[in-house]
A and B are shown apart, each in its own frame.
Chain A
């Protein structure tokens, strides 16, 4: 029906007039999605606030079971990964494809380190009997009848956050593969920026989770 070779670049979708409009639309869509994610986690933070207001002692007591050091390490790991993903976007903007690929790999590696540390945290807890939910929770170390409530909230908040990290790793692997196939450059790097934006959101959520769960006393 039509000869595409001259008329528009390969990445430009047919319902957009030009690349600028497509990029603008992608950015707006991503930000709206991020607002939606904030509301999603907001519900969980709301549950946290309500229960902490009702049982402040429970929270400060139970939080001592969480390993602050490893939580802090994870925070640095995640902030570092936000830095490297921003650098990846910058590389794409400057048409440095190798730089883009390396920065993406480092980000993925840091994200995996985060998950690894989380794995050790979770397995330690499960080992000593701190399970989610009243039926499975058997740990005796906290002198409060509602200890399972704190950990239920802990597990659901960090668990859903971890699921977002896993999704983010998947997205970054996809972007890395596309970068290896030379799909990105200074004139088109929208997916890189969108994934970067998502990753920053995941980082920001952890920055709220960490003090609220690990640092209260």
Chain B
């Protein structure tokens, strides 16, 4: 068109594609059999495989926790030896951190849902995605070999000098963690590229679902932080195997250097764990308030702010390790700073609820549980960040309670919210709502009974990782143990009704929650290619005041662009126009 003006407006031919409530072909029917699953490059199947793996590891880590808490029923030995106790808490921590919390939301739910939220057919590198899963499995195998050998009793933090000298199978586990780190890095690389390059027409950065913003921030942290963990475990392996002398004072090294290296990854790691959870909360809270999320850009950018500041606060794990006074003060100040973007999110979510049309289905119940438990966890984190207070609370049960409130009360509850929210999408089935609500009560009550007493006894001086304790703490420990059994019951109920739903559950319509999310405008379960059209997005992700039809638009061509010549022509002509929409 030879005109002098350049117009920014492009026209597309779109039509409405209403998702069927009764799809005949889905991603589950189109690729069947064990071999198909094991060699799939479909992000949805890979997400499900991750979900199953994470669930298994959670069960193992949870069983270890119950063993620990049972041992702590009495001040002296109950039924476990001291050395075994050290192994149990080490493995509980290592499994929960590395095999459950870090991969769970991004690799399981993120893999399944994020490409659909972008209107894409898959992630940018599907084969790399499958490789990430198998690398995760390889890392797990190394860890289990360690279990079969001499186990691990160093604590999940592998502090030197004990980790250099311990007779347990440190190297098997450090190599397992090294391998596992690549799974995290490759997933992060995949997600960053997908979010930049694979968005459907109309999805600008300002129309990205907040779940995607959260996964984007998480992926950045994964790519930047995990390699440092890789080097750390590599150096620890060399130290153990060859006597390098980097962390051993007798050989000229410094054990605190290990702590610096370790926490430079492991602090950003906790943001890898929680930020995807924030993304889920935004999705669920808007759907069940039928309202747009308050302060979209504040929530979107605060994820990036957390990612950035999160790299600067690692020293707050080392306040008592002998850092300089200046360093500790700076780290304490920055720790306070990193709480601000998180606080902004909490306020914005609460403002989202205001004048919303609240529906208290199970995902929303978990959102409220999250808001309560994570806020307690966050506040107590700030309290630990106060230098003078931390001197007394470091390495006590106060810290244990804090991180369980944020990691379990935060990440795991968000995972449960997301699992219940997207369960109909992934499986095409509904679960028993009544049982789900009952389970959530067990989870909430059990959690608080387990961990609230731990704040008190920590403040009174009960050290963490201790096998024996003095009698003044017995009541606290016993209450905590009873709470852990309630938690166990809650999770067993969840397992039961979810399994029941898989085999005998009621069929779900495409969009049981009436969400405006793009993933809900596909069938439940989705088609093999997610959508049988190219979605076109014209509204923001939470514009509940707009009619549902306008979220179901797609390019008006017949096919995926594969078969007919006419379709190809249309796609060719359109391509120049809408290519500009997906660049950002």
The total of interchain contacts (Cβ-Cβ below 8 angstroms) comes to 138
Q: Which residues of the other chain, A, contact B254 by a CB distance below 8 angstroms?
A: 50
Q: Of residues 18 to 57 in A, which have CB atoms within 8 Å of B's CB atoms?
A: 18, 20-21, 24-25, 28-29, 32-33, 35-37, 39-40, 42-44, 46-47, 50-51, 55
B245:A156 contact, CB within 8 angstroms: no
Known: A28-B197, A29-B190. A132 touches B238 (CB 8 A): yes
In the assembled complex, the CB of B312 is this many whole angstroms from the nearest CB of chain A, namely 15
A152:B244 contact, CB within 8 angstroms: yes
Q: Which residues of the other chain, A, contact B568 by a CB distance below 8 angstroms?
A: 6-7
A36:B193 contact, CB within 8 angstroms: no
B192:A32 contact, CB within 8 angstroms: yes
A132:B242 contact, CB within 8 angstroms: yes
B245:A148 contact, CB within 8 angstroms: yes
Q: Which residues of the other chain, B, contact A3 by a CB distance below 8 angstroms?
A: 562-563
Among candidates B224, B563, B575, B582, residue contacting A35 with C-beta atoms closer than 8 Å: B224
Among candidates A17, A36, A51, residue contacting B227 with C-beta atoms closer than 8 Å: A36
Known: A134-B244, A134-B251. A15 touches B193 (CB 8 A): no
CA distance A6 to B561 in the complex (A): 11
Known: A43-B261, A149-B252, A152-B245. A29 touches B193 (CB 8 A): yes
Known: A15-B120, A29-B125, A43-B261. A36 touches B235 (CB 8 A): no
Question: Which of A21, A36, A136: most chain B Cβ within 10 A?
Answer: A36
Decide yes or no whether A146 CB sits under 8 A from chain B: yes
**CB nearest to A17 among chain B residues:** B575
CA distance A46 to B244 in the complex (A): 16
Q: How many residues of B contact A (CB 8 A)?
A: 52
Q: Which residues of the other chain, A, contact B232 by a CB distance below 8 angstroms?
A: 43
B122:A15 contact, CB within 8 angstroms: yes
Given A32-B193, A146-B245, output 5 extra A-B contacts at Cβ < 8 Å. Answer: A2-B563, A7-B562, A28-B196, A43-B230, A133-B238
Task: Please report B residues at the A interface, Cβ cutoff 8 Å.
Answer: 120-126, 128, 185, 188-190, 192-194, 196-198, 223-228, 230-232, 234-235, 238, 241-246, 251-254, 257, 261, 534, 560-563, 565, 568, 575, 579, 582
What 9 A-B pairs have minimum CB-CB distances, sorted nearest first? A133-B242, A43-B231, A40-B227, A146-B252, A2-B562, A15-B122, A134-B243, A152-B244, A15-B121
Task: Please report A residues at the B interface, Cβ cutoff 8 Å.
Answer: 2-4, 6-7, 13-18, 20-21, 24-25, 28-29, 32-33, 35-37, 39-40, 42-44, 46-47, 50-51, 55, 132-136, 145-146, 148-149, 152-153, 156, 160
